[in-house]
Chains A and B, each alone.
Chain A
Amino acid sequence: MIAIFTAQDQFLESTKDDRFGRCPWFIKMDTVTNQWEAFQNPGVGHTSGAGVAAAQFVIDQKAEAVISGDFGPHAVDAFHAANISMFLYSKDISSIQQAVESFKQEKLSLFS
């Protein structure tokens, strides 16, 4: 499945970013083929509606899961409507690579 991770930079070794709407990079990972791609967050510079813009991006990528440190109310509404599951980084994770491993092993908790 397609999972999207919020990151501070564009590589798998990059540090995770705990913000959803304002993170600089999204790492899109296909958990079956392990193919991945980095995208700049389209919502990052906007004065308002960053969460909506970022959620729209994730939805357009046809992701089934999105992983970050927290999600704002507009992003939450959008993902509930789109049926995309939100997961949270655990405290011991620092790189995207670690996050991907934890996600595959189903160690990450669901955002509620």
Chain B
Amino acid sequence: MRIVVASGKGGTGKTTIATSLALSLVVNGEVHYVDCDVEAPNGHIFLKPQITHQSNAVIRIPVINKDACSLCGRCVEVCQFHALAKIGKMIMTFPQLCHGCGSCTVNCPESAIEELANPIGVIESGVTAHGLNFSQGRLNISEPMSTPVIRQLKKSITTKDESIVVLDAPPGASCSVVETLRGVDFVLLVAEPTPFGVHDLKQMIGIVTEMGIPAGVIINREKAMFMPLKDLCTEVHIPILMNIPFNRRIAAGLAEGLTLIEINPDYSQRLQDVYRQISSIIASIKE
């Protein structure tokens, strides 16, 4: 079972919920927490894992063999990202624009292109003191593209059928979030009960609807029911699975690096209940 915790608006509480959800489910069996916010991973601050494995995330960039190159310019033509240019007597590459699609390599009539694995990030895995399997990706500073790191991070997770994987999504509603969502069974949308929060939630609802992924909402930092949020969820038939009140003690605990369930152990049971609701929603869809 693969569950993504996403939000649209940043700072709503994705990591707060994803880390504690994962910890609460360790009693059930094998659980993995995967931090897909590769530009600014922060799950490790709360989970304090022991990292045992590290590998490079790479993009395969073209290297042109000058002796074999006939300067026909076909590679420049087929590259839709303009990562290649024909300049005088050579083909120049722009590695930061390259998406690693391999089009140039395949289309070169002289087979003059070799692919070099260019490291753009790091994938790390290990385990926490509570026996939670932990993985994260980290995009190297100055690299512009996070999606290849997220893709390779997800591929690196080996699970059994019964395993539960909790993926902590990046903020926003762009390519990196879509990449995180690919192939998952359910998405928990952490919503902030404010106009800004509702606006960004709508973006996420659009995306998950298009991708056909069932969703549920968790409202975080709630002072009173915010009607536009409630109405939105009703309108799009997305259930509200849990409400977390605005609580200064929770905020203070998080600031010290404590997980939600360390601050208030009641949440462990509540999050297990959320998981049960998710399982039954998925089971009823299958019928």
Contacts and interface: CB of A to CB of B under 8 A. Distances in A.
A52 interface: yes
A49 B87 contact: no
Interface magnitude class on chain B: 10 to 19
B75 to A, nearest CB: 12
Contacts of A55: 85
B81, B83, B85: residue with the most chain A Cβ atoms closer than 10 Å = B85
B82 A77 contact: no
Provide the main secondary structure of the chain B interface.
Answer: mixed
Contacts of B87: 59, 78, 81-82
Contacts of B85: 52, 55-56, 59, 78
Contacts, number: 43
A107 interface: no
Interface stretch (B88-96, B116-124, B259-267): B88-96
A46 interface: yes
Contacts of A77: 92, 94
Interface string B64-107: 00000000000010000111111110101010110000000000
Interface in A18-73: 43, 46, 48-50, 52-53, 55-56, 59-60
A52 B82 contact: yes
B84, B87, B92, B94: residue with the most chain A Cβ atoms closer than 10 Å = B87
Contacts of A48: 81-82, 97
Interface residues of A, number: 17
Given A77-B92, A78-B92, A81-B92, A52 B86 contact: no
B76 A56 contact: yes
B86 A74 contact: no
A52 B83 contact: yes
Contacts of A52: 82-85, 94, 97
B94 A49 contact: yes
Nearest to B81: A49
Nearest to A84: B87
Contact of B88 (A43, A74, A82): A82
Contacts of B94: 49, 52, 74, 77
Given A53-B82, A56-B76, A56-B82, 18 more contacts: A48-B82, A49-B81, A49-B83, A49-B94, A52-B82, A52-B84, A52-B85, A59-B85, A59-B86, A59-B87, A74-B94, A74-B96, A74-B97, A78-B85, A78-B87, A78-B92, A81-B88, A82-B87
CB-CB nearest 6 A-B residue pairs: A49-B82, A52-B82, A82-B87, A53-B82, A56-B85, A49-B97
